[in-house]
Structure 1
Amino acid sequence: MGNQMDRLSHLSYAEVPTVDPNGVDTDDGPRIGVSYIFSSDDDELEDGCAVDGGGKHADEEEKNYDQRDEVECAVYHREECVYEKSAKCANLEVYSPENLLNKCKAGDLVEFVATGQFPHWAVYVGDFQVVHLHRAEVKNSFLTDASQGRRCRVVNDWFKFKPLCAEVVVQNAMEQVGLKDRELSWRNSESFAAWCRFGKREFKMGGEIRIGKQPYRLKVFVSDKHSHVLEFQSLEDVIMEKRRNDHLGRAAVLRELAAHFRGVEERTTVPEGFVPAPKVEDSFPDSVLSL
């Protein structure tokens, strides 16, 4: 296995079985999502880096952000919703770091966002400071410095687990400051911040045993009436895929899905005498398939 553990491996939608594009669960076959068994901390790509790999400086002007490119989704553990990000259930409004300071209290989870970057999560610990996993090290920084020009918001309610008390959340975060590289138990800043607030081992690397079952479902909301679902073995895997989608943005994710379903339709052969089901276009929005 060796060096495989050091890099992220992702399969495209065309390489994995998926669920009905309408989001309707059936028992006709497997709906298996990507397993990030060989993954690295993707924070090396998120802070101060553009999609094309070009470097950016922390003191540059505010980075571009378009709320219309948000990928809204929900995560289910068996039948229970354990995460949801959508305009229907949460406030997706973002603020400048200076304005967010007036809305933060110790123990809050903060998300920094910019177009074409992985979202970066941090724990607000008071006195204008956050603790966050940044480039394979847990650091204590001023919120304004950690933002690196990105917009930000409080995201306490997106994960549906019962939070620990604020004092314990801050203690969890502060006790990890200085950990780096192989000392770390989290693959990305989101998993680290969520572990500090909720204390669940599922956010840690290897926190759940993969035994072949797929208890987690990631539902990506394509429109008000349509969604796309993948299944995963662990919450850790779901978070990695969810973050990948956030990095790509809504338009790119919809194009990827549309290309996948076109490919499925083109590869489908109909046995003689078989009455085919409606075409993909009949159940998937034209606006998506035309991207």
Structure 2
Amino acid sequence: MGNQVEKLTHLNYAEVPTSDPIGGGPDDAGPRIGVSYIFSNDDDDQDDQLDRCPPDKHRADHEEKPFDPRDELPCAVYYREERVYERSAGAAAHAAESLLNKCRPGDLLEFVAAGQYPHWAVYVGDFQVVHMHRAEIKNNFLTDVSQGKRGRVVNGLYRYRALPPEVVVRNALDHVGTRDRELYWRNSECFAAWCRFGKREFKIGGEIRIGKQPYRLELPLTDKKSHVLEFQSLEDVVMEKRRNDQIGRDAVAQELAGHLSAAHGPGDTRCQNPGSTGGPGGGTPPVRSRDR
């Protein structure tokens, strides 16, 4: 059964919407359900996009809009009532040469650039990292992987108990060379996080998407109000979270505000599907608002 799931995840479909087995009409104020990004790989989408852009144009785009930590959207992920992930806005990122001085074997690294999906890697020592790139697990020098992007150590974002550093490094190195249909992870973040925490929830098909949605992605709108998206698996949450990281804080806020205004009029805080925004699954999952 597991092999069948792994083969299905490599079909050329963009997304498969989840459904609530309990049901609920469009005017129901209850929880809204996120999109299952079953068939997409955001890291590959990013690589293909970069390959199609002339080098000069790509360089000019980044000169026009350099990475700004203040453009990141803070968020938190809950499994039932347990907070399992939290990102605050404004975390500093460093040039690759500076980042090397901060790394220890087993650390999780995140490379960031404006308008791109974050790229995650595991530092394994001797200036090298193991990471998932273009549907293959590779071992490269940190400076080569950064490709001019800024990076940071992100061990504390996920609140799971970390494995010993030597186990994290072994998990990463043991999979170097794994590619295509042999892969068990949707993107670089899921692979790197699995290496450090060893949780099957980061793997493709690691959780069955049936029943009530146990995961919540909370996005702050103001100091007193936030949007909450609900998902059936951690894998789906990661895909939506990374989509938000790619388009940036202002774009997410405009997306949500525009949908609220168009769909329900002033004063109504309930949300349906905001429509296509160019993310890996072609649209934003349905959401609901709540007071903090």
TM over 0.5: yes
CA deviation string 1:195-251 (max 9, x = no partner): 000000000000001112100000012232221110000000000000011111111
Change beyond 3 A, Cα 1:40–1:174: same
Alignment match, 2:88: 86
Superposed displacement of residue 47, structure 1: 4.3
Counterpart mapping for 1:64-75 below 5 A = 64-75=66-77
Is structure 2 residue 9 aligned with structure 1 residue 8? Answer: no
CA drift at 1:45: 2.7
Find the aligned partners of 1:144 and 1:73 in 2 and give their Cα distance. 29
Matches within 5 A, 1:34-183: 34-37=35-38, 39-47=39-47, 49-50=49-50, 54-56=53-55, 64-87=66-89, 92-183=91-182
Q: Does 1:224 align with 2:223?
A: yes
Judge conservation of contact 1:46–1:120 (CA < 8 Å) in 2: no
The Cα offsets for residues 24-50 of structure 1, whole Å up to 9 and x where unpaired, read as xxx94232111223x222111334845
RMSD of aligned C-alpha atoms? 2.8
Q: 1:3 to 1:109 in 2, by over 3 A?
A: closer
Q: Which runs of 5+ in 1 are unaligned?
A: 12-16, 18-26, 267-277, 282-291
3-state secondary structure, aligned to 1:32: coil
Partner SS, residue 35 of structure 2: coil
The structure number with the bigger radius of gyration is 1
- The 3-state SS of whatever aligns with 2:263 is helix
C-alpha distance after superposition, 1:88-118 (max 9, x if no partner) = xxx7110000000000000000000000000
Question: CA 1:170–1:84 in 2, change beyond 3 Å: closer, same or farther?
Answer: same
Partner of 1:284: none
Q: In 1, distance between residues paired with 2:203 and 2:54?
A: 29
1:55 to 1:160, Cα distance in 2 relative to 1, 3 A: farther
Aligned partners of 1:185 and 1:205 also within 8 Å: yes
Structure 2: state its 5+ residue gaps: 1-6, 18-22, 270-292
Separation in 2, partners of 1:228, 1:239: 16
1:33 and 2:21 aligned: no
Q: Say which SS state the counterpart of residue 6 (structure 1) adopts.
A: coil
Query: In 2 relative to 1, CA 221–167 (structure 1 residues): closer, same or farther, beyond 3 Å?
Result: same
State TM-score, norm by structure 1.
0.79
User: Residue 159 of structure 1 aligns to which amino acid in structure 2?
Assistant: Y
Q: Distance in 2 between matches of 1:244 and 1:10?
A: 16
Sort the Cα spacing of 1:142 and 1:215 in 2 relative to 1 into closer, same or farther, 3 A: same
Alpha-carbon distance between aligned partners in 1 of 2:75 and 2:245, rounded to the nearest angstrom:
10
The equivalent residue for 2:278 is: none
